[in-house]
């Protein structure tokens, strides 16, 4: 059975992305884990809105315009006068592995749930059928933001909405591991579709291997789990037997920046279309394989032409 959602919202932060090109020059774009997923979902034909907070500067204007150009809904993007979005720089090695440098401490997205317009936003989010967020989202919002988020998720699920969560663990966003583990535990108990990474939860909890990670997420009561393995592939776990879904190896990996984000987009979109979890995982692998062969978090549209759906 598919997710069967009519309205989808991705919540989190988009930043200015600086990337060093092979010639040494710096190119500028926009990126952030849940934003990347939202863009790829829109390209795949899913009805998705992006929910965040931005400033009132030209870069914030350009972000909103670019999302609208991708078919992502922007009706719940809060704007904060006098503020600017965060910024990050990507540097990649000769194997395509990336290193990030961040400037985001005063970004308005961190205050998404504690701004003057936040109560109206929270009320609007309760009407969605699927909310998608990540461990990065949890980290940037802090204790005050999570105190508003978790009751929102409870109310949404009580009326039949669903929650998808990608574990994306970034230690620098948290004061300590104990705080992070409590937040992740609370989040997983409110999750309907979990997209954990073995590396994420091994590093956070000290889990020994994929089986331990899978059991941890299952014990939290998550009914649908897609465990992303360290080697190419994933394990789909739900009502039936666990199923490992391998991914074909990519000969030339250029940039792994949005590999997991695009995988999440492919998986969730396929589930929205009614495909089985295993079919959704195979589709997600194919999309991620294309994305990692190009530089930047959001690759050119024509690079994934075989997957594109017409914008409504």
Q: Annotated active-site positions, please? A: 261
Residue 234's beta-bridge partner residues? 228, 245
- Give 286's contacts (C-beta < 8 A, 6+ positions apart): 266, 307
Enter the DSSP assignment of 229.
P
**What is the four-CA torsion angle of 308, 100, 50, 37, rounded to 10 degrees?**
30
SS3 83: coil
The residue with tokens 């998550």 is 222
Separation CA 40–CA 44 (nearest Å): 6
Task: Report which of 139, 167, 138 is spatially closest to residue 153, judged by C-alpha positions.
Answer: 138
Q: Which residue has the tokens 């006068």?
A: 81
CA distances 61 to 115, 137, 168, 248, Å, are 19, 22, 27, 39
Give the 3-state secondary structure of residue 225: strand
C-alpha span between 191 and 210 (Å, rounded): 19
238, two tokens: 């739900």
Distance CA 242, CA 73 (A): 35
Name the nearest CA neighbour of 284 among 228, 239, 238: 228
């Amino acid at each position: 059975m598919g997710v069967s959602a009519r309205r989808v919202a991705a919540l989190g932060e988009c930043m200015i992305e600086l990337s060093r090109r092979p010639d040494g020059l710096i190119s500028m774009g926009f990126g952030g884990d849940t934003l990347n997923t939202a863009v790829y979902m829109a390209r795949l034909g899913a009805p998705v809105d992006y929910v965040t907070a931005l400033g009132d500067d030209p870069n914030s204007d350009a972000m909103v315009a670019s999302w609208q150009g991708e078919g992502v809904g922007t009706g719940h993007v809060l704007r904060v006068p006098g503020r600017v979005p965060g910024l990050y720089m990507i540097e990649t090695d000769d194997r395509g592995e990336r290193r990030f440098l961040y400037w985001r401490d005063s970004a308005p997205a961190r205050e998404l749930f504690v701004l003057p317009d936040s109560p109206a936003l929270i009320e609007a989010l309760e009407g969605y059928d699927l909310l998608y967020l990540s461990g990065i989202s949890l980290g940037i919002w802090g204790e005050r933001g999570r105190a508003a988020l978790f009751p929102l998720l409870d109310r949404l699920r009580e009326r039949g909405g669903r929650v998808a969560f990608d574990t994306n663990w970034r230690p620098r966003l948290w004061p300590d591991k104990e705080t992070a583990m409590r937040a992740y535990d609370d989040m997983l108990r409110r999750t309907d579709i979990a997209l954990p990474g073995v590396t994420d939860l091994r590093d956070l909890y000290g889990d020994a291997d994929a089986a331990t990670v899978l059991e941890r997420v299952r014990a939290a009561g998550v009914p649908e789990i897609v465990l992303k393995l360290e080697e190419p592939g994933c394990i789909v776990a739900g009502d039936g037997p666990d199923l490992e879904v391998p991914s074909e190896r990519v000969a030339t990996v250029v940039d792994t920046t949005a590999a997991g984000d695009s995988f999440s987009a492919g998986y969730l979109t396929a589930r929205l279309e009614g495909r089985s979890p295993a079919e959704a995982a195979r589709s997600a692998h194919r999309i991620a394989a294309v994305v990692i062969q190009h530089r930047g978090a959001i690759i050119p549209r024509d690079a994934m032409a075989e997957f594109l759906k017409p914008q409504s």
